[in-house]
Amino acid sequence: MTPDLVGERTEALRRELRRIGLLLDRLPDPPEPLTAGQLAAASGPVLTRTPGPPDGAASPGSLVAAAEAVRTGEVSAVELVEDALDRAREASDLNAFLLVRAEAVEEARERDAEGDGPLCGVPLTVKDIVDVRGLPTTSGSKFPRMAATSAPAWEALEAAGAVLLGKTNLVEFAFGVHGGNPTFGRTKNPCDPDRIPGGSSSGSAAAVAVGAGYGSLGTDTGGSIRIPAALTGIFGLKPTYGAVSRAGVTALSWSLDHVGPMARTAADLDRLWRALEPRSPGPAKFAPNWDGKPLPNHGLAPLLGVRIGVPRNHFFSGLAPEARAATDRVLDALASIGAEPVPFEIPEVELAGPARSAIAFAEAARFHARRLEQRPDDISPEVRLLLEVGARLTASDYLTALKVRRVVTEAFRRAFVGFDALITPSVPAGATPAGEPLLPTGEPLRTGFMRFVAPFNLTGFPALALPSGRDRAGMPLGAQLVGPPGGEDAILDLAQYAEAMGATDPVRRESGSPTVANGSARPG
């Protein structure tokens, strides 16, 4: 890596931080740094709603339908797993997997014999940055390790009855948005193999999209669940910071990293969240899986009284018209059943980008310091550049970024005094051809795809990507629903309402056997 390039990137970021730092120092009450511990301490559940009606019918081919079919004996766990393995083999050219487990069939047989739980017999995948006991964790790099124990996040899904189908490909050290990997090869987008799937949870998104498993466990530091979910036409949830344990997950930036689920339907995402969520389930938030029947006191407007903030600045500029239309589609659907869209502005969000970059680069450089020092040639030039920039940032730069984090986070907290949720686009444009450095909007790939999603890694607020449209090339686009800390239930309900109203547009695949819930065990 040339020193000049590292120096240029470092100095550009430091100039931005110095400019913002001067602005903050002039405030009457300059902010103190907001640490990861303080962010996690503020992440308790905040919303309580009246319980809604019973769950509606599960979508054919969905995780929820598959789990119910195993429970009733209509389909065996072995059949589900074998079907998912077939899917994985059929889609092997997408390079979504780093490891496929033939042992999954035997585990499914055990589930059929004695298993129980809300995910009983359901095949899932995990991003290969998450430890699973007895399996290697590569983190998409040349630094693999053998896991002696499983990450608590996977243990929770396994305890709910899930079967591990395999581990999925990712961007090296989860440090990128394109889906390429110099060691294991790039993951291809199932909707067009010549285009990127997004990253860094690229293999997880591709596997879910083609039905190789009913869901996946991903990680998100600057959009790494939501970007690939949006670009492949599935759903992805970044929970509140600290809500799901990061233990047993290779760190990138410990104060920005989040662990969360990816799935093909909103109801499936909700089911996975319930298995991951460490808190006791509370009352329903709005009304889960509304089936279109009138509700007491609300008629056909079950979201009456729900206010959805629409931030006009930052999130709705510099995006393709189809991306705006995809977000409007979801908002219009929610408004048609009672939700009130409320435009507002949040100027502080414009400060989020440099602060998030400084935190991510500095923390990643510290975590990977020994690898960078001892084996720099085993790290790709792209990732090494970012780590070397992080290594050159000063303590003052880092503390300035933490001060900015407090300003941005408190601005969003104030906004949620008047709103139940926010809505934004999830990405400004659809998936680009592999190797293309710019979005159709003219933005660089990395900063462009992160612009709408990364602010909520900085604040730690829960955010959900849902598919809701296509670009001119037919590639998926989507909206993003954001909740206050602890507000996962609320945005999951809103996503299910949007799905029930026909506002979502998930990728569909030709169905096959075995049959589940009047549809197919194969998703789609």
Residue that is written with structure tokens 């997997």 in the block: 97
Percent of the chain with pLDDT over 70: 89
Distance of alpha carbon 456 from alpha carbon 16, whole angstroms: 20
Q: Which of 177-215 are b and which e, b meaning 16 or more Cβ less than 10 Å from the residue's Cβ?
A: bbbbbbebebbbbbbbeebbbbbbbbbbbbbbbbbbbbb
Retrieve residue 317's tokens. Answer: 């500029």
63, part of any domain: yes
Report, as residue numbers or ranges, the catalytic residues. 127, 200, 224
518, part of any domain: no
357, part of any domain: yes
**Residue 84 clears pLDDT 90, i.e. is over it:** yes
Contact 276, 218 (CB under 8 A): no
Contact 207, 88 (CB under 8 A): yes
Q: Residue 280 has what pLDDT?
A: 43
Average pLDDT over residues 454-471: 97
CA dihedral 14, 178, 130, 424 (to 10 degrees): 80
Express each pLDDT in 220-234 by its tens digit.
999 999 999 999 999
Instruction: Count structural domains, the chain.
Output: 1
294, part of any domain: no
**Residue 314 clears pLDDT 70, i.e. is over it:** yes
End-to-end Cα distance, the chain:
45
- Confidence class of residue 520 from pLDDT cuts 50, 70 and 90? very low
CATH number at residue 502: 3.90.1300.10
Sign of the CA dihedral with 258 first, then 260, 266, and 271 last: negative
Average pLDDT over residues 6-33: 93
291, part of any domain: no
Express each pLDDT in 272-299 by its tens digit.
999 998 654 444 455 555 666 666 666 7
- Confidence class of residue 37 from pLDDT cuts 50, 70 and 90? confident
- Confidence class of residue 80 from pLDDT cuts 50, 70 and 90? very high
- In angstroms, the Cα distances linking 355 to 278, 360, 398 are 30, 9, 8
Phi-psi region for residue 416, left (φ > 0), alpha (ψ -120 to 50) or beta? alpha
Roughly what angle, to the nearest 10 degrees, separates helices 352-367 and 381-392?
100
Express each pLDDT in 235-262 by its tens digit.
999 999 999 999 999 999 999 999 999 9
- Confidence class of residue 524 from pLDDT cuts 50, 70 and 90? very low
Express each pLDDT in 335-350 by its tens digit.
999 999 999 999 999 9
Mean pLDDT for the chain? 91
What's phi and psi for 218, nearest 5 deg? -115, 180
Q: Residue 127 gets which letter from DSSP?
A: E
497, part of any domain: yes
Q: Residue 311 has what pLDDT?
A: 97
Q: Residue 278 has what pLDDT?
A: 63
Contact 230, 476 (CB under 8 A): yes
Q: Residue 508 has what pLDDT?
A: 63
Q: Residue 283 has what pLDDT?
A: 43
- In angstroms, the Cα distances linking 402 to 17, 344, 362, 372 are 11, 25, 12, 24
Q: Residue 299 has what pLDDT?
A: 72
Distance of alpha carbon 333 from alpha carbon 495, whole angstroms: 10
Q: Residue 55 has what pLDDT?
A: 47
292, part of any domain: no
**Residue 197 clears pLDDT 50, i.e. is over it:** yes
Q: Residue 182 has what pLDDT?
A: 97
CA nearest to 166, candidates 123, 116, 111? 123
Cβ-based neighbours of 248, under 8 Å, separated by 6 or more? 130, 131, 147, 149, 150, 151, 152, 153, 154
Express each pLDDT in 398-409 by its tens digit.
999 999 999 999
Of residues 304 and 511, more confidently modeled: 304
Question: Alpha-carbon Rg of the chain, whole angstroms?
Answer: 22
Express each pLDDT in 140-196 by its tens digit.
999 999 999 999 999 999 999 999 999 999 999 999 999 999 999 999 999 999 999
Q: Residue 341 gets which letter from DSSP?
A: E
- Confidence class of residue 523 from pLDDT cuts 50, 70 and 90? very low
433, part of any domain: yes
Beta-bridge partners for 477: 469
Residues spanned by the domain of 381: 5-51+59-280+300-510
- Helix (H) or strand (E) segment spanning residue 412: helix 395-415
